[in-house]
Amino acid sequence: MKLIVGLGNPGKKYDETRHNIGFRVIDELSKSFNIPLNQEKFKGVFGFDTINGEKVFLLKPLTYMNLSGESVRPLMDFYKIDIEDVVVVYDDLDLPPGKIRLRQKGGHGGHNGIKSLLAHLGTENFKRIRVGVGRPEAGVAVANYVLSTFRPDERQEMEEAVSQASKACESWLSKDFLNVMNSFN
């Protein structure tokens, strides 16, 4: 079994924000795999299907970003999904808009959603796909920045980043994550 988690915040007002890039990747995968996100449980919305003989889950935690682990851990426990079979997609301030970076493990880098996952999963050994959203200009609070929408000049590169992150997830379903990293980093 494999679990792909996209981090974000629930609600229409957050749909197009920088912080919801993980949700956008899950939505893209839902369409391309034809897996409806029609189950609400474990403080999240998810769907699953069998792809290449393996059950694949797509999850959007509905806990708000800072409590993401409260959704991921119970789903993993219920379905007995190993930490090695989890990848988390989320926004990253340290990457320029549109750039993606894959990692096999790591710290939280100041990201509150990842802090919550580290606390609830008890390990930093989970795969990540970081999607760059850039840094705010001087004087703009980080919280306000990540809850803002993309500027018109950033939208095309962000659509490409969502597509690339989705393709990386899809590639991971049939390849070792190290090979996927080598292809997409």
Whether 154 contacts 97, CB under 8 Å: yes
pLDDT per position as a tens digit, 91-141: 999 999 989 999 999 999 889 999 999 999 999 999 999 999 999 888 989
Q: How far apart are CA 142 and CA 8, in angstroms?
A: 15
CA–CA distance, 72 with 58 (Å, rounded to integer): 11
| pTM attached to this predicted model | 0.96
C-alpha to C-alpha distance for 80 and 182, rounded to whole angstroms: 29
The 3-state DSSP class for residue 157 equals helix
pLDDT over 90 (residue 159): yes
Mean pLDDT of 30-37: 97
* pLDDT average, residue stretch 143-148: 92
**Per-residue confidence (pLDDT) for residue 145, from 0 to 100:** 94
pLDDT at position 110 is 86
Q: Which domains does the chain have, with CATH numbers?
A: 2-184 (3.40.50.1470)
Q: In this structure, what are the phi and psi dihedrals at residue 59, rounded to the nearest 5 degrees? A: -130, 135
Q: Which residues are annotated as a binding site?
A: 14, 64, 66, 112
Sheet containing 39-41, strands listed edge to edge, beginning at the edge strand earlier in sequence: 39-41, 44-51, 54-61, 2-6, 86-92, 127-132, 100-103
The residue type of 185 is: N
Percent of the chain with pLDDT over 70: 100
pLDDT of residue 40: 97
> Cβ distance 115 to 124 under 8 Å?
no
Catalytic amino acids?
19
- Give yes or no for residue 166 having a pLDDT over 90: yes
End-to-end CA distance of the chain: 25
Q: Say yes or no to pLDDT of 59 above 90.
A: yes
Residues belonging to the binding site for tRNA are: 14, 64, 66, 112
Name which of 46, 45, 16, 59 is nearest 154 in CA terms: 16
State the average pLDDT for the chain.
95
Nearest to 4 by CA among 110, 89, 123, 100: 89
